[in-house]
Structure 1
Amino acid sequence: MLERQETEVFLTLAEELHFGRTADRLRCSPGRVSQVVKCLERRIGAQLFLRTSRRVTLSAIGAQLRDDLLPAHRQIQLAYRRAVVAARGIAGPLRVGYSTPWVADAVLRAGAVLSARHPKCTVEAQETQFADPYGPLRSGELDVQISEFPVREADLTAGPVLFTEPRALMVPAQHPLARQDTVCQEDLARAPLITFAAEFPSYWLECHLPTHTPGGQPIARGRAVRYWAEVLSHVAAGHGVAPVAARAEAYHARPGIAFVPFRDAPTIDYGLLWPTDRATPAVQALVTVLCETVTAERSPGSARIGQAHPGV
């Protein structure tokens, strides 16, 4: 049976592959790390790490042990964190992911309200990337996320929609579409569509980056990108077009790009997400405050703060 210290030393060294860095992370000496590893290897009866004067690597048995241990270790850590959160109530930092700066503004405003109600609770905003849209939420790096819907994932709860934005098409300034007052979905067949270098669910891609127009015309695929800034550069360079929130122009007007509103496309809806098994009291409190804040800003006589940024 592995002891807690053995598990922590082994998994940290398996990640760092360096005795000094492992010791720094665990706040002990490299000698202690070496001692724990040697003891573990004797008990198992095989080398877990292959050492030379220049590098440390995992043996085949070490790699197998790492792969078998990691899920259980993460589950134990998650159980501990959930117990701590339950004991504290609505307290501690809440990490919220966002895909657009104007959503981040709303998160930070709601965070100020939440902290006023619950002084032990703070909110931190973190931008999500196309490359791994739900990974940080699943790994525990984020507690809540506001993303473009639809989201239909078995392990994620899709909460209320916070923002509904009309669509526009971001096109190269010299493209014929840039001279139109509006575009329709059939116009998507007239230029390559910038895509994402990520494994988005097929239902999400069909909503935001379809392969065919409603009339059945094929839509060519353009460059695949990992970050939003790349979309702007490729559109300006004439490599393709991209559907965005209509108010994107307020944030990203620049030479080489035009924004043309759709006259027939569905809206882009931004909603709340959180892991189904981590719906803590603090998460639920933040969801409530976000809904209240957004609703209040939409009410008559209340100015809506900020402009929309493109969703996709």
Structure 2
Amino acid sequence: MPGLEIRELECFLVLAEELHFGRAGERLYVSQSRVSQLLRSLERRVGARLVHRTSRRVALTPLGERFLARLRPAYDGLAAALAETAAEARGVAGTLRLGFQGTADDRLTEVVRRLTDRHPGYVTDLVELPYSDPFGAVRSGAVDAAAVLLPVEEPDLVLGAVFPRQRQTVAVGAGHPFAGRTAVSAAEVAAVPLVTPAAPAPVYWRAAQAPSAVPGPEVTTLQEGLSQVAAGRAAMLLCRPTAVYHRRRDVVFVPVDGLPDSVLGLVWHRDGETEPVRALARAVAAGGSSPERDLTWKDGAIHT
């Protein structure tokens, strides 16, 4: 649209949040009359009212609500593009700490490579997280973001892009009845003891990683879990890439039919979202992941 003023769009976005001309003006460092002027100019471009205003109330019109839904992601994208380009122009450098659970396999190293290719100034440190504490390091600030197994239901954390889904396998000792099978069912897995993450992992998260009716040993690390498996004390669910990475002679990995796929997601604290973290999320998404808003966890399964 010729002559479009970015200030008009910013005014509308702020007014849509505040629903008050005076407060919107304070945030924009302009007078209340200037807010009204910018809004009228935008409405003339649109050709219709975007805001209902009376002496007592300010509200978006239905058209204004739809315009807000379209404008917000586009404006955020422009702001991110500007910030990213400015950072590249300054040659911004920094260290990004990325947490992982158990295995930093090629899924993570490929994300780091994509991030480094796009932002040569960023240095990514990989930090191993305890299997039993997927969210603690993010909350404490020990890492900037973490790649953790879903589900994630923590209200103070943001679930960003997710990695491609992976089929589940069950790890069993070489002498286990499952060891000679080409596949087992979800019902069969639920009937044997499964290695379970210990506290402080949330109860819902522990149940998702060990959906069994039979109590199994609790562990704090992935290696502890595999040791319990090798000793014949329990089985353990692992995604296919992790199973491939941890091949050993005393443990057999058998595909499981009927279980929801394993999904790894990138999380960060709501107060810790920075441009490097957003760049990391884009690097994950570039690998073919799905956005968080398209995924929900219900009844032990991931739904789109």
TM-score (norm 1): 0.59
| Equivalent position SS for 1:262 | strand
Counterparts of 1:292-311 in structure 2, within 5 Å, are 292=286, 294-295=287-288
- Determine helix, strand or coil for the equivalent of 1:221: coil
Secondary structure of 2:187's partner? helix
- Check whether the contact 1:130–1:198 (CA below 8 A) recurs between aligned residues: no
Task: Tell me the residue number matched to 1:97.
Answer: 99
Amino acid at match of 2:157: L
Partner of 2:9: none
Residues 1:163 and 1:100: Cα distance change in structure 2 (over 3 Å): farther
4+ residue stretches of structure 1 with deviation over 6 A? none
Seen in structure 2, the aligned counterparts of structure 1 residues 291 and 115 have a Cα distance that, compared at 3 Å, is same
Q: Does 2:279 correspond to 1:285?
A: yes
Equivalent in the alignment of 1:252: 246
Post-superposition Cα deviations, 1:254-299, rounded to whole Å, max 9, x if no partner, equal 232211111111100011101111111121112112221x239xxx
Q: Which residue number in structure 1 is paired with residue 66 of structure 2?
A: none
Give 1:114's aligned amino acid: L
Corresponding residue number in structure 2 for 1:222: 216
Tell me what 1:205 maps to: 206
2:196 aligned with 1:195, yes or no? yes
Residue identity opposite 1:179 in structure 2: G
What residue in structure 1 maps to residue 164 of structure 2? 163
CA deviation after TM superposition for structure 1 residue 235, in Å:
0.8
CA-CA distance at 1:102 after TM superposition: 4.5
Matched-pair contact (CA < 8 Å) for 1:108–1:124:
no
Q: How far apart are the structure 2 equivalents of 1:246 and 1:120?
A: 33
Residues 101 and 281 from structure 1, CA distance in 2 versus in 1: closer, same or farther, beyond 3 angstroms?
same
Alignment partners' CA distance in 1, 2:242 and 2:133: 22
CA distance in 1, matches of 2:110, 2:182: 35
Amino acid at match of 1:159: G
2:231 corresponding residue in structure 1:
237
Alpha-carbon distance in 2 for matches of 1:95, 1:269: 21
| C-alpha distance 113-235 of structure 1, shift in aligned 2 (>3 A) | closer
8 A contact 2:132–2:201 mirrored in 1? no
Contact persistence 2:171–2:251 (CA under 8 A): yes
1:106 CA drift (Å): 3.7
Which ranges of structure 2 fall in alignment gaps of 5 or more residues? 1-82, 290-304
Specify the alignment match of 2:154 in structure 1.
153
CA distance 1:116–1:169, shift in 2 (3 Å):
closer
CA, structure 1 residues 112+171, in 2 after alignment: closer, same or farther (shift >3 Å)?
closer
Q: Which residues in structure 2 correspond to 1:46-125 (within 5 Å)?
A: 91-103=93-105, 105-125=106-126
* Residues in 2 aligned to 1:157 and 1:224: alpha-carbon distance in whole angstroms: 27
Q: Could you say which residue in structure 2 is the equivalent of 1:141? A: 142
Matched position secondary structure for 1:123: strand
* Residues 97, 143 of structure 2: 8 Å contact kept: yes
Q: Is the Cα contact below 8 Å between 2:101 and 2:134 reproduced in 1?
A: no
Distance in 1 between residues matched to 2:207 and 2:180, nearest whole Å: 27
Aligned twin of 1:270: 264
**In structure 1, C-alpha distance between the alignment counterparts of 2:172 and 2:132, rounded to whole Å:** 23
What's the CA shift for 1:93? 0.6
CA distance in 2, matches of 1:286, 1:169: 31
Q: Distance in 2 between matches of 1:283 and 1:255?
A: 39
Segments of structure 1 that go 5 or more residues without pairing to the other structure are 1-84, 212-218, 297-312
Distance 2:112 2:183 in 1: 38
Asked whether the equivalents of residues 91 and 120 of structure 1 are also in contact (C-alpha less than 8 Å), the reply is yes
User: How many residues end up aligned between the 2 structures?
Assistant: 202
Distance 2:256 2:235 in 1: 13
| Separation of aligned partners in 1, 2:161 and 2:150 | 10
The AA in structure 2 aligned to 1:280 is T
Can you list the C-alpha shifts for 1:77-128, whole angstroms capped at 9, x where unaligned? Answer: xxxxxxxx99x9554111001124344x444443344334334322111111
- Distance in structure 2 (CA, Å) of the matches to 1:153 and 1:185: 27
User: What is the identity, as a one-letter code, of the residue corresponding to 1:239?
Assistant: R
CA gap of 1:224–1:100, structure 2 versus 1, over 3 A, is: closer
Mapped partners of 2:262, 2:208: distance in 1? 9
For residue 146 of structure 1, report the CA deviation from its aligned partner. Answer: 0.7
TM-score, length basis structure 2: 0.60
